[in-house]
Amino acid sequence: MQEHNELAHPNNNATGTTALQPMDFTDILDGILTLYRSHLPLFFGIVAVYVILGFSIDQISVFLIQEGSVLGINTIVIGFTVLGNTVVSIWVVAGLIYASAQVFLRREITTKAALQQASRRFLPYVWSGILWGLVVGGLFVTVIGIPFAIYFSMRWGLYSLPVLFEETTGRNALRRSTELVKGSWWRVFGIMLAISLISFMIGFILQESFEFILSLIGIAAPEAPANFLEQLQRLYMPISSEMGWFSYSVRRLVSLSIAFITMPIGPIGSTLLYFDLRIRKEAYDVESQVGD
């Protein structure tokens, strides 16, 4: 495949220290921390785009909803808000994944270049995500299909790198993910679950800390949540009509600030897992050294 050959030529002007060798679970977790810490300006620069655009979209939508009184108009505004935030989120995550791959291979990469690649490969990336979502979501809505949904979510879960890095098509990205995950499904499942839980727990701890600080200084202090789901709703989906513009804005900034910190964790982790599988299955470390 063309994309395989393309991968075998890392830039000799290397700036990182990551060794191209098989990684166990501990190595991947350590690699996430190492890449994150070593390239903070790069990752924060990419996520800053999400924070700025996301907050701007939310503020515009709140203004339009408060000024409007027609339910139909408000519904349209909310729909465009959700769509806008979704597009920005997908675009930024794609940029994070591509940037993670480049820094892992010790290549020079800038925020602008990462987002440009995300823009260039946006449509096939979205298409592969739609295919993934249709199958996984369709199976998940039935009780009997839930185990199959979990199975395919992992089997096809590494489609991002083939689309963004190998530049394959959306459908071929799912096949490529299947090739890499085959024979390692349980390992992939365990690592991806651990990464997701770590990211979630960091976000949840930060959310609770921000809630305590806001309550302490008397800004946008919430009523005590009735249950765990209400805390999740405040973390990820604050609703302006329930708390007023100022309180909503503060909480939205809090949720975006938490995303600013936690958003790179998943993309870096999935990237490391992708290269680990390539190294194990395709001797990619040997290919790369020969390419040098």
DSSP secondary structure string for all residues of 228-261: HHHHHHHHH---HHHH-HHHHHHHHHHHHHHHHH
Tell me the two tokens of residue 259.
């995303």
Q: Which amino acid is at 17?
A: T
* 70: pLDDT strictly greater than 80: no
Give the model's pLDDT for residue 62: 76
Gap between the Cα atoms of 269 and 283, Å rounded = 20
Contact in structure between 207 and 258 (CB atoms under 8 Å): yes
Rg value, the chain, Cα: 20
Domain span at residue 248? 22-283
Give the model's pLDDT for residue 19: 52
Q: Is 64 exposed, middle or buried (0-12, 13-18, 19+ CB in 10 A)?
A: middle
- The reply to whether 17 falls in a domain is no
Q: Which residue has the higher pLDDT, 242 or 100?
A: 100
- The reply to whether 16 falls in a domain is no
Confidence of residue 213 (pLDDT cuts 50, 70, 90): confident
What proportion of the chain, given as a percentage, has pLDDT over 70?
A: 77
- The reply to whether 44 falls in a domain is yes
- The reply to whether 154 falls in a domain is yes
Give the model's pLDDT for residue 18: 44
Long-range Cβ contact pairs of 128-134 (< 8 A, separation 24 or more): 128/159, 128/160, 128/163, 128/169, 128/170, 128/171, 128/173, 128/174, 129/90, 129/159, 130/170, 131/156, 131/170, 131/171, 131/174, 132/156, 132/157, 132/159, 132/174
* 2: pLDDT strictly greater than 50: no
Q: Could you tell me which residues come within 8 angstroms of residue 6 by beta carbon, excluding any fewer than 6 positions away?
A: 166, 167
- The reply to whether 8 falls in a domain is no
The label of the residue with tokens 């083939």 reads: 162
- The reply to whether 187 falls in a domain is yes
Instruction: Give the model confidence (pLDDT) of 177-188 as tens digits.
Output: 999 999 999 999
Give the model's pLDDT for residue 13: 39
Instruction: Give the model confidence (pLDDT) of 82-110 as tens digits.
Output: 888 899 999 999 999 999 999 999 999 99
- The reply to whether 212 falls in a domain is yes
- The reply to whether 163 falls in a domain is yes
Give the model's pLDDT for residue 69: 56
Tally of structural domains, the chain: 1
